[in-house]
């Protein structure tokens, strides 16, 4: 029996599926309501978040209140980017220059970048074949650390319950990087409510899109007071929609530096109407992920990361391994590109586009991560825009398999 999926349309010359014409960087338009609200902000000229009139709380403040309610978090702070959210969260959680922060070796460059930016020392924790934190390595590296910054990279949630056990045993603060995990759940709880403080990104390629932007959520009022002052609230932190009480802000006002990382009204206006649609978009993304996974997962050379039963995922991309293929993955990506499919390989020796590996973060001390290196050297990555139909996803999956088969047969 042929275990390979059949391409959805007739093969073109040479047995290849027809080229795919979809755009892998395509974004959904901003909801009309958001576009109109942004226009109203521009017409008012009042773009700064603290430029508000008595009754009107302003867009940034309303965004904080609405996102906190959606997330089920007591406090929410809107900031300029996901990377700034991480820096502010680390500082607000008490990380000081020279402190060791444990973080995922499989992540995006702004994560170790944030650790270095606050003067802390990133100690990278190995990733498993299923793209989650290696809990044995975490426990081995925990003594002496100050915090663990769990990056749910590409939406693969680490076992936060086990991370919390390690954190409790070693007195670590748990910071979640949910830039890829907005709308995902662990044991039914939304990601972002699983640690001491969480960071989200609203940069274009995440689950909400304001071009750039970020959110910090937490339940600890004193921590959020520090975060608010750190974000650059001057003495106006009381104008936040889901912020700490004035007496808590007063304590932080004298202690924390103003790091000028506020969100403006324009971006908040664009984001507010997107909140109600997050869960539906996550479902649509998961369906696209599963459509590709269904095609490529049947191939004997392909390994898909296993999903723990506690996870309800939020996938906006797909990752798969070709175990043992190493640099041949680059050839698979090149052949897929000829057929219109954009694959990225995590094993490349230099940063390409948004993709980079720990060895290229030379602001960190070199780290020995043999397990992560082995995982990344066989790992491919593909974005799944919502504009793709399920038939597009099957087509893309068939192209991926064709590219792999061509390389295997050479």
The contact set with ligand PLP (CB under 6 A) reads 81-83, 107-108, 110-111, 151, 153, 177, 179-180, 201, 203, 214
Whichever of 20 and 24 has its CB closer to ligand PLP, that residue is: 24
Whichever of 82 and 243 has its CB closer to ligand PLP, that residue is: 82
Q: How far is the CB of 78 from ligand PLP (least distance, A)?
A: 12
Q: How far is the CB of 109 from ligand PLP (least distance, A)?
A: 8
Q: How far apart (Å, rounded) are the C-alpha atoms in residues 405 and 188? A: 39
Whichever of 214 and 273 has its CB closer to ligand PLP, that residue is: 214
Q: How far apart (Å, rounded) are the C-alpha atoms in residues 232 and 189? A: 31
Task: Determine whether 132 is exposed, middle or buried from the number of CB atoms within 10 Å of its CB (0-12, 13-18, 19+).
Answer: buried
Whichever of 70 and 205 has its CB closer to ligand PLP, that residue is: 205
Residue, CB closest to ligand PLP? 82
Q: How far is the CB of 181 from ligand PLP (least distance, A)?
A: 8
Q: How far apart (Å, rounded) are the C-alpha atoms in residues 87 and 106? A: 18
Closest CA to 141 of 168, 101, 108: 101
Whichever of 68 and 108 has its CB closer to ligand PLP, that residue is: 108
Q: How far is the CB of 52 from ligand PLP (least distance, A)?
A: 25
Q: Taking a C-beta distance cutoff of 8 angstroms, is the pair 408, 350 a contact?
A: no
Q: How far apart (Å, rounded) are the C-alpha atoms in residues 264 and 203? A: 14
Closest CA to 59 of 68, 69, 46, 72: 46
| Cα→Cα distances 92→79, 96, 110, 217, 338, Å | 14, 10, 18, 12, 47
Whichever of 89 and 295 has its CB closer to ligand PLP, that residue is: 89
Q: How far apart (Å, rounded) are the C-alpha atoms in residues 78 and 210? A: 12
Q: How far apart (Å, rounded) are the C-alpha atoms in residues 158 and 162? A: 9
Whichever of 179 and 229 has its CB closer to ligand PLP, that residue is: 179
Q: How far is the CB of 204 from ligand PLP (least distance, A)?
A: 9
Q: How far apart (Å, rounded) are the C-alpha atoms in residues 152 and 196? A: 15
Q: How far is the CB of 184 from ligand PLP (least distance, A)?
A: 13
Q: How far is the CB of 203 from ligand PLP (least distance, A)?
A: 4
Q: How far is the CB of 294 from ligand PLP (least distance, A)?
A: 25
Here the tokens at position 381 are 């990555």
């Amino acid at each position: 029996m042929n275990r390979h999926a059949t391409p959805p349309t007739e093969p073109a010359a040479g047995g290849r599926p027809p080229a795919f014409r979809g755009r892998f960087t395509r974004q959904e338009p901003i909801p009309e309501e958001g576009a109109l609200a942004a226009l109203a902000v521009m017409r008012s000229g009042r773009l700064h978040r603290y430029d508000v009139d008595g009754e009107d709380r302003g867009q940034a403040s309303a965004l904080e209140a609405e996102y906190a309610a959606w997330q089920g978090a007591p406090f929410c702070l809107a900031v300029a980017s996901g990377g700034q959210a991480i820096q502010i969260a680390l500082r607000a959680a008490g990380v000081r220059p020279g402190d060791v922060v444990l973080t995922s070796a499989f992540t995006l460059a702004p994560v170790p970048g944030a650790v270095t930016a606050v003067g802390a020392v990133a100690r990278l924790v190995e990733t498993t074949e299923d793209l989650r934190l290696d809990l044995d390595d975490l426990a081995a590296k925990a003594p002496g650390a100050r915090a663990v910054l769990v990056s749910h990279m590409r939406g693969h949630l680490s076992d936060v319950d086990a991370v919390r056990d390690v954190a409790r045993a070693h007195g670590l603060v748990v910071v979640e990087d949910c830039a890829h995990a907005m709308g995902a759940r662990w044991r039914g709880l939304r990601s972002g409510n699983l640690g001491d403080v969480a960071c989200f990104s609203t940069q274009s390629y995440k689950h909400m899109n304001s071009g750039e932007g970020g959110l910090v959520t937490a339940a600890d009022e004193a921590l959020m007071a520090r975060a608010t002052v750190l974000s650059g609230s001057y003495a106006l932190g009381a104008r936040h929609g889901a912020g700490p009480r004035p007496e808590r802000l007063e304590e932080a006002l004298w202690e924390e530096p103003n790091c000028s990382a506020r969100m403006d009204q324009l971006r908040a206006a664009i984001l507010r109407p997107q909140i109600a649609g997050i869960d539906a978009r996550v479902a649509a993304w998961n369906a696209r992920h599963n459509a590709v996974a269904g095609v490529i997962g049947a191939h004997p050379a392909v390994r898909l990361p296993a999903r723990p039963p506690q996870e309800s995922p939020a996938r906006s991309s797909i990752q798969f391994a070709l175990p043992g293929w190493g640099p041949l993955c680059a050839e698979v990506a090149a052949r897929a590109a000829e057929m219109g499919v954009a694959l990225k390989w995590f094993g490349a020796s230099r940063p390409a586009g948004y993709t980079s590996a720990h060895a290229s973060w030379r602001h960190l001390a070199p780290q020995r991560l043999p397990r992560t290196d082995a995982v990344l050297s066989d790992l491919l990555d593909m974005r799944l825009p919502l504009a793709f139909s399920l038939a597009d996803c099957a087509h893309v999956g068939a192209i991926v398999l064709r590219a792999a088969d061509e390389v295997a047969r050479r």
